[in-house]
Amino acid sequence: MVLIDKIFYRERDIVLYLGDCTTILSMIAGNSIDMIFADPPYFLSNGGITCKAGKMVRVDKAEWDKSNGFKDNFDFTLKWLSGCREVLKDGGTIWISGTPHNIYYIGFALQTLGFKILNEISWFKPNAPPNLSCRYFAHSHETVLWARKNGRHKFNYQKMKDWNSDKINPKGKQMKSVWSIPLTPLREKVHGKHPTQKPIELLKRIIESSTDEGDLVLDPFNGSGTTGVVAKMLRRKYIGIDTEKEYLELTRKRLFNLS
């Protein structure tokens, strides 16, 4: 199948596709991707409230983030994950972020499709906003599941150990599964904003831990393009897919530092 009519932007080792990820994934060669990072809809834009810049605001990111009920949400999750499994190489890995709104769909779908879950990372946000309803504990972390397709997966253990060095442990120590990383700083939003933009630091750990230079990384929910920005920074190839031209254009600006 030819994807040429779906290409939004291409330059050297970077390709951005405009369209629904389940359609685009079905057109990409099977067993061709080394690693996938996915930041899918969390299904939490249903009229709730949150704190943003010290103010109470509605949690209504967009139509794509609204829940359609348990069955439809799970069917959607199973469909895009099936597409990801087809394009991943044997031994390739997938990282998926989420909250209680969607992460249990994802975990069950991964196991249904025969993935092996390798780690459950807790991304702790030390500067997370307070819970304004005062009826729950403040939500201060997201979960990132790391899973593999068949075979032996890649893990750059020594790099992660070196990364985890400090004055007390200058030679480094094993990196644990709780990562303390602040929310996306404003300096990473100078080209525009996306409601679910992830910090560069998070993607640096993910990509550097599980790929090598020259590997091909894919993000089926490209958003603001942080995965692509980090892939380029670390000399990886990148494929990003999104349904919104606005965010693909934002990605292009971030990738090439355009005004």
* pTM (two decimals): 0.90
Instruction: Report yes or no on 233 lying in a domain.
Output: no
Amino acid at residue number 193:
K
Instruction: Report yes or no on 138 lying in a domain.
Output: yes
| Contact of 59 with 45, CB cutoff 8 Å | yes
Give the domain range for residue 92: 33-214
Closest Cα partner for 41 from 104, 121, 122, 97? 97
pLDDT tops 50 at residue 188? yes
pLDDT of residue 5: 80
Instruction: Report yes or no on 55 lying in a domain.
Output: yes
Instruction: Report yes or no on 144 lying in a domain.
Output: yes
State the pLDDT confidence band at 51, using cuts at 50, 70 and 90.
very low
| Contact of 91 with 153, CB cutoff 8 Å | yes
- Supply the CATH number for residue 199's domain: 3.40.50.150
Give the burial class of 38: count Cβ atoms within 10 A of its Cβ; 0-12 exposed, 13-18 middle, 19 or more buried: buried
State the pLDDT confidence band at 50, using cuts at 50, 70 and 90.
very low
The three state secondary structure string of the chain is CCCHHHEEEEECCEEEEECCHHHHHCCCCCCCEEEEEECCCCCCCCCCEEEECCEEEECCCCHHHCCCCHHHHHHHHHHHHHHHHHHEEEEEEEEEEECCCCHHHHHHHHHHCCCEEEEEEEEECCCCCCCCCCCCCCCCEEEEEEEECCCCCCCCHHHHHHHCCCCCCCCCCCCCCEEECCCCCHHHHCCCCCCCCCCHHHHHHHHHHHCCCCCEEEECCCCCCHHHHHHHHCCCEEEEEECCHHHHHHHHHHHHCCC
Question: What are the pLDDT digits (tens) for 147-162?
Answer: 999 999 999 999 999 9
Amino acid at residue number 63:
E
Instruction: Report yes or no on 11 lying in a domain.
Output: no
Which of 15-29, 32-46, 241-255 is the least confident region? 32-46
Tokens of residue 166, six digits: 């400090």
Give the position of tokens 């991964």: 110
Instruction: Report yes or no on 239 lying in a domain.
Output: no
Instruction: Report yes or no on 256 lying in a domain.
Output: no
Instruction: Report yes or no on 258 lying in a domain.
Output: no
- Kindly report the average pLDDT of the chain as a whole number: 90
Give the burial class of 131: count Cβ atoms within 10 A of its Cβ; 0-12 exposed, 13-18 middle, 19 or more buried: middle
Closest Cα partner for 98 from 15, 26, 239, 198? 198
**Number of structural domains, the chain?**
1
Tokens of residue 154, six digits: 């890649």
Question: What are the pLDDT digits (tens) for 115-148?
Answer: 999 999 999 999 998 887 788 898 999 999 999 9
